[in-house]
Structure 1
């Protein structure tokens, strides 16, 4: 499990953060979460929970343990 929480100055629209090129930090950014979304769609055993509440944006990525490893 990987978890990240960041404070935000504005309300975060969760559907927008996954759009290619969307960034609150300026141009030339906004590829990371779009890439993460593509990977998660390719591997449905992965889980990603995204939340935005009271100027806190958080994501939790769950990668299940593979049996035999």
Structure 2
């Protein structure tokens, strides 16, 4: 092997490494963003479950009052 071939191979390897480093950085950022979205969605889900439970409780209380009124008439 002569020196130009080795130099070309080294440049190719260096270019490949640079590409892989860029890809890792993009994937790391994407992963961070997805984890953030997941946390946000989990928080929203928790709030919705709480609101749903509160609504269910209110509806059950209304039904109980209506049944009570119905029995008194």
Q: Structures share a fold, TM > 0.5?
A: no
Higher-helix-fraction structure: 2
Higher relative contact order (CA 8 A, sep 6+): 1
- Higher Cα Rg, which structure: 2
Q: Under a length normalisation based on structure 1, what TM-score does the superposition of the two structures give? A: 0.25
Q: Under a length normalisation based on structure 2, what TM-score does the superposition of the two structures give? A: 0.24
Higher-strand-fraction structure: 1
